[in-house]
Structure 1
Amino acid sequence: MTVMHPLDGLEHFYRKYVVLPSEHHYVALPLWAAHTYIAKAFDTTPRLFLDSALPGSGKTRVLELLDLTAFQPMMAFSASPAAIIRTIAGATEPPTILFDEIDTIFGAKASSQSQELAAVINAGYKSGATVPKCVGNAQSMTVVKLDAFAPVALAGLHSNVPEATRSRSIHFRMQRRKQSEKVQPFRRRSATAEVEPLVAALAEWVVPLQDRIGPSWPEMPTGVDDRDAEVWEPLLALADAAGGEWPRRAREACTAFVFAPNGYSRAIGIDLLSDIRTLFQVHRVDQMKSADVVSRLVALTESEWGNVDGAALTQRGLAKLLRPFDVRTKSIKCQGSVARGYAVFGDGGLHEAWERNLEPDDGIAVALLPDLSATSATAATPQVEVVASADASSSGSTAPVFVGAPQNPPASEVADVADVAAPDEGAQYVPRARAWLLDQELSA
């Protein structure tokens, strides 16, 4: 009978209850949990930072799973800096601090106490870090240095976490589950009973490694150095100790995390994703130049994109807002020329972001469309050309690829398309066939 390694068991346990963004995350999470048992063996303890564009993306679930599997976990929802410091300083071994809703710590309206807590989080990343505290009464006050070194996991909704914290972190950019991605219901009592033997096996394996793993320096993937090497050194050392596929998988995960596109914004707009989906539906294309996306967004009736922080949305601003959803520009062919733009499918495409973050939509919102009564191009409602897809361009055809709209709408829906323009319908959604007909007017 083959005995499962504790890291394999931990990975299996996590997979049952949470969907993580990639296979690399399922490698990093068990290794991070394991390192909390022997944090003192390392020079650093990387922060685990989980954020997302929307609630319900699994951040709190990850913290709940760590609360069952990490070493001496402490869920800190509203703990004061003094309580956190004294908890760490009073422990024989560094406990694992789990912060949820870190928006209150790093938000724009963060209090002085929150700023002090942020300083503790950053300082406690490195072994030997201390925080000075005054003890005693007013007549007899002394300053003592309290140990701040401890593993910390942070979770929040696209929080404005400073670079000082992010550079010390392994960043999990969480996403909502697809309907096709299933997990088992999490019941703490049953999950606790299930994982207790696994946690015992994990401790039995990892604790004896403390004396011999500390002096070792794991080989880093090419290009991983300085702060990134500090962050990943504990996890790679444990992967090497585990053997099997873990050394390879851990280095692949390290490379993926370190060289992933950086940055995210607090001004993430679900409205932006929705409006872009509307544009692609109206123009029935699977790719569009960045310049066209921006101009068409600004032209949408009653849209907010004409005034973003005091100025109209730009291509650079659009890229920044889409970055948290892992949507990126790429070189696309449009009408015989190559330009930077966005595609529905493929790496960095929009489809994944739409599927994860927007409700299913069979049509477009009439209220978002430019004024259909315009008969000529104006600054307010520019006439926009239909962009041909890369496949169509390469074949010499200029016909666009239809996205979410039939090429031959049923006669029954053609007959009542006039109802779409009725002024009292507001933002009613129209069927895809009507969207097809509306576009004929737009491109006429």
Structure 2
Amino acid sequence: MSAVPDLRGLQEPSEDPAEMLLSVEECLRTYCVLPSEHAYVAVALWVATTHVLPAFDYAPRLVARSAEKRSGKSRLVEVVYGLVREPIRTVNASVAFIFRSLGNEHPPTILLDEADVLFGTRMKAEQNEDLRGLLNAGHQRGLTYGRVEGPSHTPTTFSTFAMALVAGIGNMPDTIEDRAVVLAMRRRKESEVVSTFRQKRDGPALAMLKDRLHDWGEVAVGLLEGAEPTMPPGVDDRAADTWEPLLAVADCVGGDWPVRARAAATYFVLATAEDEQAQSLGVQLLGDIRGAFDKLGHPFIGSQDLVTALEEDAAAPWFDMKFNPSKLGKHLARYGIRTGHTPDKRKRVYHREDFEDAWERYLPSPRTSEDEHQSPPDP
């Protein structure tokens, strides 16, 4: 196992911005295991961007999510807390508190840990719709939230623009991830060695590095005004909005950061596209299963019988994917669907009723012959 570098011995820094950003990356590597080499680049650039945010019209989100606990999300938040500009770290702060903390020319950085507590279920997401809306609107400069204040209900407009890190178990709301660099965090292997992080012991080294970032930002913010970095192929639309500040920072600090930043942007945009494709494949599976239940006309179907029914469609991908009951179960578990017992308790099967919720959420309502023959509504 390789030795872990000790940042506590950090000497008086070089004035080279590229070296400064390498120190941020080294700090991340010291305490965190991120899911790819590109992730260290993206997070280092995101940290630096918090110090020059007034130069940009977009504030990229950073999402750190995992399938299970103890995957390094909170440790990442701890380390980032010591490096970003004016962090607000919270688990359960009210939306009103966050509203009133923003609004400056250079707003603080929101670090929202354990976000699954807020967005993990449909009911929780609905209860925290204001916070989701704030995180969505705050991606772009100039988008505000209107509220009424005080006993006289005075109309008040609040700024939402700010950098934000959102960490939690499971996927965050699509509208947040669509505006973010998404890190799919994993549990650390025994061979992946990191240093323990203790605020009292390690905080001073981070504070010194943060001071360097602050001093650099005071000068760089003027240089970055109006920056329009060249985007790599395939990075467009909202992804370009998210990556524009990060690439501009990379170009500003120089060294090999412009090349590494564009490689990271390409990697994350392709990863997002692959994730969306996988989700689309899941939606196709749900639709094909609904078709199988309709065709067979049974209230429940055994796992192997369902696999066989799916493979009967030569145009579908399931046969080529070598589908089996185990693979089917893993795919359906993402939607909270699992096998149950037959009425006589002798066999485990999939019940149609257990699919109804997922079908309603992800699939269009099936058209009936009566629907197809209805006349269109009058204009």
Question: Is TM more than 0.5 here?
Answer: yes
Q: Which residue of 1 aligns with 2:51?
A: 37
Closer/same/farther in 2, CA of residues 180 and 87 from structure 1, 3 Å limit: same
Q: Give the superposed CA RMSD.
A: 2.7
Deviation at 1:166, TM superposition (A): 1.3
The aligned counterpart of 2:77 is 63
* Structure 2 residue aligned with 1:321: none
* Pair 1:292–1:210, CA change in 2 (3 A): closer
Quote how far apart the aligned CAs of 1:75 are.
Answer: 0.7
Matches within 5 A, 1:88-167: 88-89=102-103, 91-106=104-119, 107-110=121-124, 113-137=127-151, 140-159=152-171, 161-167=172-178
Aligned to 1:257: 268
Helix, strand or coil: the match of 2:324? helix
| Mapped partners of 1:309, 1:125: distance in 2 | 41
1:85 corresponding residue in structure 2: 99
Change (3 A) 1:114 1:303: closer
Match of 2:9 in 1: none
Aligned pair count reads 286
The SS at the match of 2:111 is strand
Q: Residue 182 and residue 237 in structure 1: after superposition, are their counterparts in 2 closer, same or farther (change >3 A)? A: same
Shift of 1:162: 2.6
Whole-Å separation in 1 of the counterparts to 2:55 and 2:13:
30
Distance (Å, rounded) in 2 between the aligned partners of 1:96 and 1:152 = 6
Secondary structure of the residue aligned to 1:291 is coil
133 and 221 in structure 1: CA distance in 2 versus 1, 3 angstrom threshold: same
Distance 1:204 1:18 in 2: 25
- Preserved CA contact (<8 Å) 1:32 1:235: yes
Q: Label 1:135 to 1:18 Cα distance change in 2 as closer, same or farther (>3 A).
A: same
Match of residue 212 from structure 2: 201
**Structure 1 residue 73 and structure 2 residue 73: aligned?**
no
Letter in 2 for 1:245: D
Give, in angstroms, the shift of residue 183 of structure 1.
Answer: 0.4
Trace 1:161-310 onto structure 2 (pairs within 5 A): 161-260=172-271, 261-263=274-276, 290-294=321-325, 306-307=349-350, 310=353
Give the Å deviation of 1:225: 1.0
- Counterpart code for 2:324: V
Which residue number in structure 2 is paired with residue 367 of structure 1?
none
Aligned residue for 1:49?
Answer: 63
2:68·2:169 contact (CA, 8 Å) conserved in 1? yes
| Aligned mates of 1:295, 1:197 — CA distance in 2 | 52
CA shift at 1:291, angstroms? 3.3
- CA change 1:219–1:92 in 2 (3 A) is closer
Preserved CA contact (<8 Å) 2:112 2:165:
yes
Is the alpha carbon distance of 1:2 and 1:143 closer, same or farther for their aligned partners in structure 2, counting shifts above 3 Å? Answer: closer
Structure 1: which 5+ runs fail to align?
Answer: 269-287, 318-444
| Runs of at least 5 residues in structure 2 that lack an aligned partner in the other structure | 1-11, 283-318, 330-337, 341-347, 360-379
Distance 1:289 1:74 in 2: 49
Query: Structure 1 length as normaliser, TM-score?
Result: 0.60
Q: Give the 3 Å change call, closer, same or farther, for CA 240–308 of structure 1 in structure 2.
A: farther
Partner of 1:43, secondary structure, is coil
Residue identity opposite 2:325 in structure 1: V
The residue identity in structure 2 corresponding to 1:121 is L
How far residue 143 of structure 1 moved from its aligned partner, in angstroms, is 0.4
When residues 289 and 295 of structure 1 are mapped into structure 2, their CA distance, relative to the original with a 3 A threshold, is farther
Task: Please give the per-residue CA displacement for 1:405-424, whole angstroms capped at 9, x wherever unaligned.
Answer: xxxxxxxxxxxxxxxxxxxx
Secondary structure of 1:208's counterpart equals: helix
Alignment deviations for residues 9-47 of structure 1 (CA, whole Å, 9 cap, x no partner): 000011010100110001000100110112121110011
Assess, with a 3 A threshold, how the Cα gap between structure 1 residues 308 and 244 changes in structure 2: closer, same or farther: farther
Rounded to whole Å, the distance in 1 between the matches of 2:36 and 2:230 is 23
- Alignment correspondent of 1:405: none
- Rounded Cα–Cα distance in structure 2 between residues aligned with 1:290 and 1:71: 48
Separation (CA, whole Å) in 2 of partners of 1:202 and 1:171: 23
| Distance in 2 separating the partners of 1:169 and 1:87 | 21
Letter in structure 1 aligned against 2:241: E
CA contact (8 A) 1:88 1:94 kept: yes
- Secondary structure of the equivalent of 1:69? coil
C-alpha separation in 1, matches of 2:249 and 2:351: 46
Name the structure 1 match of 2:41: 27
Do the aligned residues in 2 keep the contact of 1:44 with 1:126 (CA within 8 Å)?
yes
Does the 8 A contact of 1:128 with 1:149 survive in 2? yes
CA distance in 2, matches of 1:309, 1:162: 27
Which residue of structure 2 lines up, in the alignment, with residue 415 of structure 1?
none
Deviation, structure 1 residue 112: 5.0
Task: Work out the CA distance in 1 between the residues paired with 2:127 and 2:326.
Answer: 44
Change (3 A) 1:309 1:81: farther
Cα distance in 2 for partners of 1:172, 1:162 equals 14
Q: Percent identity?
A: 36
Q: Give the deviation of 1:235 after TM superposition.
A: 0.4
Contact 1:41–1:211 (CA<8 Å) still a contact in 2? Answer: yes
Separation of aligned partners in 2, 1:183 and 1:197: 21
